[in-house]
Amino acid sequence: MSLTEEIARRRTFAIISHPDAGKTTLTEKLLLFGGAIHIAGAVKSNKIKKTATSDWMEIEKQRGISVATSVMGFNYGDYKINILDTPGHQDFAEDTYRTLTAVDSVIIVVDVAKGVEQQTRKLMEVCRMRNTPVIIFVNKLDREGRDPFEILDELESELKIKVRPLSWPINIGAKFKGVYNIYEHSLDLFTPNKQKVSERVEISSLDDPRIDESVGETDAAKLREDLELIEGVYPEFDEQAYLAGEVAPVFFGSALNTFGVKELLDCFVRIAPSPRPVTTEERVVNPDEEGFSGFVFKIHANMDPNHRSCIAFVKICSGKFERNAGYKHVRSGKVMKFAAPTAFMAQKKSIVDEAYPGDIVGIPDTGNFKIGDTLTSGELLHFKGLPSFSPEMFKYIENTDPMKSKQLEKGIQQLMDEGVAQLFINQFNGRKLIGTVGQLQFEVIQYRLLHEYGAQCRWEPISLYKACWIESDDAEALAAFKKRKHQFMAVDREGRDVFLADSGYVLTMAQQDFPKIRFHFSSEF
């Protein structure tokens, strides 16, 4: 296949949602249809012993939540699909924000009973900033929930995007009978089964008597009425408007019961975009260019606990990636060769000889990479848009076992490379401070340090409002500020000055008293 054909058959997307909407379960069922797994695992279930493929970390299996983005690639028909299953919990939002820079489209999962929740709104804002095309999957229709029309109205008002249903449910909850596929004009009947797919009735038109035979006259009449209303209220589905991020197609189903998922997948591979051009600081990079380019959007420590290895996830943006070819690491200026680049199926890895735009490749990392690094065939490019946000929760980290200080040091360094949290050194007392966006992060760090590095730590509370990066063109003003605020000064891992404000009032006063100092709330400046 030529480069253009390889690009055209790729679909790289993220699945995002509020916690518990069914995101990881949907991922499992997509893998099932792609033949990538033969039995779908459950996120948390007493009966199904297999845990979800994408929740492979020990802490994820115990808690029943995703704490890290996992990458899965598989073939479906003529298409190569790359799924990134992201954490829904807001304490891990930063991992999700970064992942959204590496995908071409997004599937948002919404719970039919709960509707749009706060985390979903936040994630939609990130999609809107980048004009990322969005498909919405309304999940859990086999449980009691809200009226589908009410859900559509809420999606439009809360997510600030036009919607167009491409499938429609026949009843919900205990009376749920199936889904009419508007996109393909077929009827799918519901039989609750967590491992198999339900039956499909081919129909010629909405007047087809087979609809009445399959779901009963009353429900068939309501279905025709609903569809008439949809055709009257919502304009025809426009593929270009979807690709521009203006319209979101909506599908209904039950991921747990493998229902409505195939309709979603079949439509998705046909309409979702193949890899798109990416903007760098220098120019726009097109996927079909000859020269290779890609960027690191995530680093994961200890994917294989036996080897203590770090892996840098690289999203390929243009050209063809080849094993053992020399590529330029733009930040360091070094040329590097990779003997064992890998493709992923969550934790399982297989070595790849070549990869194309849209693919995610794992590169063993011995401390060479940082999030946001660029690899190219030689051109100096810098990809934009991988920020670290100012943390809102802080604790001192202390070693509880002096014999294990080396392990603790290494563990902190590798976990900070992942971008799960940020490390600051307090200039006043030299103590290490960890800053996160959520309380759960501290538990995850403590758990992983103990179980992956054999190092024990304890947390000591500190009351801080915000950490912000400071800079100034006036060296004297900067020195005066640091002298006045020396108790609240720290440095980050890059050696940049950070001001630790202990209250909103203190921060506002500092901004007023020192007009020559610039305060930044994300590390990208």
Q: What is the pLDDT along the chain (525 residues), one digit of tens a residue?
A: 788 888 888 888 888 877 777 777 887 777 777 664 444 344 333 333 344 444 434 444 444 443 345 677 778 888 888 887 665 445 445 666 777 778 888 988 888 888 888 777 877 877 887 788 999 999 888 888 888 889 899 989 988 889 999 888 888 777 877 888 878 777 777 765 555 555 667 676 777 777 777 777 888 888 888 888 888 888 888 889 998 889 999 998 888 887 888 888 888 888 888 888 888 888 888 888 889 998 888 777 655 555 556 778 888 998 898 888 888 888 888 898 888 887 765 445 678 888 888 888 888 877 788 878 888 888 888 876 555 667 778 899 898 888 888 888 888 887 777 666 788 999 888 899 988 876 777 887 888 888 878 888 888 988 888 888 888 899 899 999 999 988 889 998 888 889 988 888 999 999 999 999 898 877 654
Q: What is the Cα gyration radius of the chain?
A: 25
Pick from 261, 351, 343, 308: nearest CA to 30: 261
Task: Give span(s): CATH 3.30.70.3280, the chain.
Answer: 393-520
The domain 9-70+77-271 having CATH identifier 3.40.50.300: the answer here is: yes
Inter-CA distances, 303 with 12, 296, 310, 311, 323, Å: 22, 16, 7, 7, 21
| Per-residue pLDDT at 299 | 77
Buried b (16+ CB within 10 A) or exposed e, 78-91: ebbbbbbbbbbbbb
- β-bridge partners, 136: 108, 250
Alpha-carbon separation of residue 79 from 76, 269, 305, 499 (angstroms)? 5, 7, 33, 49
Contacts 24+ apart (CB under 8 A), 130-133: 130/100, 130/101, 130/385, 131/244, 131/245, 132/100, 132/103, 132/104, 132/105, 132/106, 132/245, 133/104, 133/105, 133/106, 133/242, 133/243, 133/244, 133/245, 133/272, 133/273
Secondary structure class of 443 (helix, strand, coil): helix
Return the pLDDT at 247.
92
Residue whose structure tokens are 């200890």: 302
Per-residue model confidence (pLDDT) at position 35: 65
Taking residue 130's Cβ as centre, other Cβ atoms within 10 Å add up to 13
Which pLDDT value is given to residue 307? 52
Topology given in CATH for the domain delimited by 278-376: Rossmann fold (3.40.50)
pTM for the predicted model, two decimal places: 0.74
Q: Residue 133 has what pLDDT?
A: 92
DSSP secondary-structure letter at 390? P
Q: Could you tell me where in the chain the CATH 3.40.50.300 domains are found?
A: 9-70+77-271, 278-376
The fold adopted by the segment(s) 393-520 is Alpha-Beta Plaits (3.30.70)
